[in-house]
Amino acid sequence: MSEAPILDESQVLELADPLPLDGGQSLSGVRIAYETHGTLNAAKDNAVLICHALTGDHHVVSNHPRTGKPGWWVRMVGPGKPIDTDRFHVICANVIGSCMGSTGPASPAPDGKPWGMRFPVITIRDMVRGHVALLDALGIARLHAVVGGSMGGMQALSLAADFPERTAAALVIASTARHSAQNIAFHEVGRQAIMADPDWHEGDYYAVGETGGKGPEKGLAVARMAAHITYLSEEGLTTKFGRRLQDREAKTFGFDADFQIESYLRYQGLSFTGRFDANSYLYITRAMDYFDLAEEHGGRLANAFARSKARFCLVSFDTDWLYPTAESRNVVHALNAAGLPVSFVELSAPFGHDSFLLDVPALDRVVEGFL
């Protein structure tokens, strides 16, 4: 197994045609940033599309350009790894609405200024339309599989449901077919934190940034802190932090980060502002909240898969309370009702929702086996 860093430059596709959106508008001059690994075979049937999560990007194995950290799924993707780049041509594209190279609210609008809040509200299906446009440009008619965790799983479900001829299989990890009231609630807290920050300026903070302002960093950090709690399990938090104090012997009777968990969350919030655009956070969380695959198909989830012939595999984690096992089972029952071949397993892992990104050997076996 080669562990040498993969240095492929990410690529950018500029779409020739406007991208139609669920909101009724269409978006012209869309750019989609992506990276590929492994060789596309002559039959062009060994492509695996990996869909990233809310704050993820297309740097699935290459180093992140801003943080320098390794790609977000290096443990899963690479030569000899469960998503084996010796077998598969792996494609990972940045979703539209994001800020990592694909067109989003920080990108220039036709008037040359950043879109800001003039950017149209997008949906998960719109993100998938972007992916399909990329597949068209790459000449890939049908994927070997589409794979995604969390919001990536929503894209995988949406692609399998809405573009059934485009994939032979879908692997959906720690995800859901619709956002629950609780999911929407946590996102709304994050959005309100951003929009309550005086540096947000109704989303028009980019120019201010050039003259010294930094955008709604405080609000974005709070949004990230709130969301980060939902990615971890109570058990994981207790094990990792408990009530331990941060670099001190006693409580200070003040509002410093006395507890390790406070210090950790503040660090998570702060480091996030250096790599993510606040408006992108608003738009992508909105897209997730709007996601309800059943609603898009007459209220019955099984109908969403009526035209699909794909194989499906769903994986949930027992400590994930963001998208609990019941959400995966809901999808499984719909796929059963549609008569499609589906596998499902709830894996035991201590890390909560984030388990899909972490060291869970059982997940590796399922992913490798399914593909």
Partner 1 sequence: MKARLRPDLAVIADSVTPGASLLDVGCGDGALMAALRDEKGCDARGMELDPANVAACVAKGLSVIQGDADKDLAFYPDKSVDYAILSQTLQTTMRPDKVLEELLRIGAKAFVSFPNFAHWRGRLSLLWNGRMPVTRLLPVPWYETPNIHHLTINDFRALLSERAITVDGQWFLSGGSRCSASAANFRAEHAVFLLSRG
Active-site residue set? 150, 320, 353
Minimum Å gap between C-beta 335 and partner 1 is 9
Strand, coil or helix: what is 251?
coil
Q: Which of residues 308-347 bind partner 1 (CB under 8 A)?
A: 311, 313, 332-333, 336-337, 339, 341-347
User: Helix-strand-coil percent breakdown of the chain, rounded to 5?
Assistant: 40, 15, 45
Of 113 and 365, CB closest to partner 1: 365
Q: Does 365 bind partner 1 (CB under 8 A)?
A: yes
Compare residues 6 and 342 and give the one whose CB is closer to partner 1: 342
- Count of residues engaged in binding partner 1, rule: CB under 8 A: 21
CA 203 vs CA 96, 111, 213, 218, 348: distances in Å: 17, 16, 13, 14, 41
Q: What letter represents residue 177's amino acid?
A: A
Which of 367, 371, 357 shows the shortest CA–CA distance to 231?
Answer: 357
Smallest CA-to-CA distance from 359 within 14, 165, 75, 105 is with: 75
**Range 292-311, binding partner 1 (CB under 8 A):** 311
Could you list the residues known to form a binding site for substrate, using ranges. Answer: 224, 354
Q: How far is the CB of 255 from partner 1 (least distance, A)?
A: 44
Does 359 help bind partner 1 (rule: CB under 8 A)?
no
Q: Does 189 bind partner 1 (CB under 8 A)?
A: no
Q: What tokens does 100 get?
A: 């990592």
Q: Which is nearer to partner 1, 194 or 301 (CB)?
A: 301
Residues 6+ apart with CB under 8 A from 169: 143, 144, 145, 146, 310, 311, 312, 313, 370, 371
Give residue 361's identity as a one-letter amino acid code: P
Minimal distance in Å, beta carbon 337 to partner 1? 6
**Residue 205 vs 317, nearer CB to partner 1:** 317
257: tokens are 């980060």
Place of tokens 């410093």: 256
Nearest to 145 by CA among 77, 81, 88, 60: 88
Distance in Å, CB of 156 to partner 1, minimum: 16
Task: Decide: is 173 part of the binding site for partner 1 (CB under 8 A).
Answer: no
Residue closer to partner 1, measured from CB, 175 or 273: 175
Site for partner 1, rule CB under 8 A:
311, 313, 332-333, 336-337, 339, 341-348, 362, 365-366, 368-370
